[in-house]
Amino acid sequence: MIKLHNSLSRKKEIFKPITEGIVKMYACGPTVYDYAHIGNFRTYIMEDVLRRILKYNDLSVLYVQNITDVGHLVGDGDTGEDKMEKGAKAAGKTAWEIAKFFTEEYLKDSHKLNILDPNVSARATDHIADQIAMVKKLEELGFAYKISDGIYFDTSKSKNYGEIAQLDKEGLREGARVEKNPEKRNETDFALWKFSPKDKKRQMEWNSPWGVGFPGWHIECSAMSTKYLGETFDVHAGGVDLLPVHHTNEIAQNEAVFGHKTINYWVHGAFLLVNGGRMGKSLGNAYTLVDLEKRGFDPLVFRYFVFSASYRQPLNFTWQAMEGASRSYENIIQKISDILEEPLTVDKNYLAIEYVNKFKELINNDMALPEALSILWEIIKDKAVPNKIKINTIANFDEVLGLSLIEKAVTKKGEGFNIPEEVIALSKERELARSNKDWKKSDEIRKKIIDMGFEIKDTDAGTKVSLIK
Ligand code: AMP
Ligand code: ZN
């Protein structure tokens, strides 16, 4: 049983997917006008862990994340420059060039943090027609109106506008942080389609039934999530700042088009802070993963650091805290490497089941990672658990933690024991194939492993991988 805090009810709820065994999940991705900062990555790591926990529970997850490469304006509202065009100007490049560059950088950093790639990574600019179609639908249904700078959503027509944020009208107005626009019918109304300015040409603009322009920021997530996941899906995640405006508006759009509730669980991650305040690109106090690497930190130390607090609690970033996390992470790797025995045995049935149960109970309890880490420490220190069982149990935990614990320990052990991560991954895959009695696949994987210079033996104690001598 998985329990998850749902921002809709503000309670921890028992998680039940719409279709048994399958979870459809969407998360708001980066706006690619600059490097993602480590605050953003705290949220992406939380989403990655949630996805891994769902998989760990034998659910198959269809995970979609968007890439915002147009329409996100500087003020998060409907005024100000487009972040992409502003970023491009600052870099002396085109908006298309910086979108490509920062999307690649984002993926590189995600990989360094062991964040698994989404099943679908959807770019806003690849889905302009879908967004126009949704705005058209909203217009047909009477939710949209035109003013001089664009097509707007009439929030007074929405049944429960702002329910998720549980803010009164004042709060929503404040949350919206929009400059007053006297043409709008309600202060909380937001742009669905913005017209290109008459006096200058935008780099990113498209024809539409209403005139040349670009989509509003919120419509991309509604259009792309429902395109790939259907009109009702299970989980939508993001950082807590998105709740009062972006997610409130996504809900308003979806429910207007489909006439019913469309997303069952909303999961919001708390902020990474610096000196007790928000870390933000625009505040000039944002560190990137490369900044951390320049100071000598392994990116996975940051992933480990993120696990030191519940995802719902703000976490303060300091270099001192990173030093502490680094020592602790190194210590774990050292201890694992001390108990590694050659040949490495990979067997998913070779587990300390009481530890696995405790670990599972904690991660399934609204992702209690600090507590789950203490179980990791407990088993590492437990002298009563045989080494092979310990190693396999740690490898099992790492399916969720994604800290490359075994791979790093193997590397640390030295040359003679250097089984590459790829070979370990392949042997895990082969184990799975064998347990599914897929002998053809298992043989294919064995051949691949041999081609890479390793031999693989199936013994009573499990599968053993070693270097061909
Ligand atoms: P953005 O690129 O600004 O659209 O943000 C991408 C993601 O990072 C969103 O889910 C935000 O909620 C999240 N985010 C932004 N700043 C922080 C922060 N300081 N800590 C944690 N998450 C953040
Ligand atoms: Zn979004």
| From 40, 110, 273, 275, mutation site for ligand 1 pocket: most ligand atoms within 8 A of C-beta | 40
Q: What is the mean pLDDT of residues 313-318?
A: 96
Q: How many CB atoms lie within 10 A of CB 339?
A: 15
Ligand 1, atom 12: closest residue by C-alpha: 239
Interval between CA 72 and ligand 1 midpoint (Å)? 13
CA-72 nearest atom, ligand 1: 4
| From 49, 86, 113, 241, mutation site for ligand 1 pocket: most ligand atoms within 8 A of C-beta | 241
Question: Would you list the DSSP string of 152-221?
Answer: EE-GGGSTTTTTTTT--HHHHHHHHTPPP-TTSSSTT-EEEEEEPPSSS--SS-B--TT-SEEE-HHHHH
Give the type of residue at 9.
Answer: S
Q: How many CB atoms lie within 10 A of CB 75?
A: 15
Closest ligand relative to 72 C-alpha: 1
- Residue 182 scores a pLDDT above 60: yes
pLDDT at residue 131 in the model = 97
pLDDT at residue 173 in the model = 54
Interval between CA 282 and ligand 1 midpoint (Å)? 12
Q: How many CB atoms lie within 10 A of CB 311?
A: 25
Percent helix, percent strand, percent coil in the chain, to nearest 5: 50, 20, 35
State the chain's maximal CA–CA distance in angstroms: 78
Task: Render pLDDT for 220-258 as a digit per residue (tens, 0 to 9).
Answer: 999 999 999 999 999 999 999 999 999 999 999 999 999
How confident is the prediction for the chain on average, in pLDDT? 90
pLDDT at residue 314 in the model = 96
Q: Strand, coil or helix: what is 436?
A: coil
Question: Would you list the DSSP string of 395-424?
Answer: HHHHHHH---HHHHHHHHH-GGG---HHHH
pLDDT at residue 176 in the model = 52
Task: Render pLDDT for 404-416 as a digit per residue (tens, 0 to 9).
Answer: 999 999 888 764 5
CA–CA distance, 140 with 132 (Å, rounded to integer): 12
Q: Which of 192-196, 342-346, 458-462 has the highest mean pLDDT?
A: 192-196
CA–CA distance, 249 with 178 (Å, rounded to integer): 14
pLDDT at residue 393 in the model = 96
Ligand 1 binding pocket, CB closer than 6 Å: 28, 30-31, 39-40, 42-43, 238-239, 241-242, 269, 271-272, 278-280
Any residues with CB less than 8 A from the CB of 297 and at least 6 apart, and which? Answer: 322, 326
Task: Render pLDDT for 342-372 as a digit per residue (tens, 0 to 9).
Answer: 777 777 788 999 999 999 999 999 999 999 9
pLDDT at residue 224 in the model = 97
Q: Which backbone phi and psi does 12 adopt, to 5 degrees?
A: -80, 130
CA–CA distance, 454 with 446 (Å, rounded to integer): 9
Task: Render pLDDT for 20-47 as a digit per residue (tens, 0 to 9).
Answer: 999 999 999 999 988 999 999 999 999 9
pLDDT at residue 416 in the model = 53
Dihedral sign computed on CA atoms, order 377, 432, 299, 344: positive
The more confident residue out of 283 and 320 is 320
Say if residue 294 is exposed, middle or buried (CB neighbours under 10 Å; 0-12, 13-18, 19+): exposed
Give 120's strand partners.
64
CA–CA distance, 216 with 193 (Å, rounded to integer): 5
pLDDT at residue 461 in the model = 60
> Which helix (H) or strand (E) segment is 52 a member of?
helix 38-56
CA-42 nearest atom, ligand 1: 21
Per cent of the chain over pLDDT 90 is 70
Nearest alpha carbon to residue 387 among 354, 357, 343, 421? 343
Closest ligand relative to 243 C-alpha: 1
pLDDT at residue 169 in the model = 56
Interval between CA 267 and ligand 1 midpoint (Å)? 13
Confidence of residue 468 (pLDDT cuts 50, 70, 90): low
Interval between CA 164 and ligand 2 midpoint (Å)? 15
- Residue 170 scores a pLDDT above 70: no
Any residues with CB less than 8 A from the CB of 416 and at least 6 apart, and which? Answer: 342, 467
Q: How many CB atoms lie within 10 A of CB 83?
A: 25
Interval between CA 459 and ligand 2 midpoint (Å)? 49
pLDDT at residue 162 in the model = 85
Task: Render pLDDT for 56-109 as a digit per residue (tens, 0 to 9).
Answer: 999 999 999 999 988 787 766 777 778 888 888 888 888 889 999 999 999 999
- Residue 464 scores a pLDDT above 80: no
Task: Render pLDDT for 320-329 as a digit per residue (tens, 0 to 9).
Answer: 999 999 999 9
Give 121's strand partners.
65
Task: Render pLDDT for 119-151 as a digit per residue (tens, 0 to 9).
Answer: 999 999 999 999 999 999 999 999 999 999 999
> In the numeric block, which tokens belong to residue 79?
């005024």
CA-238 nearest atom, ligand 1: 10
Closest ligand relative to 236 C-alpha: 2
Interval between CA 232 and ligand 1 midpoint (Å)? 25
pLDDT at residue 193 in the model = 96
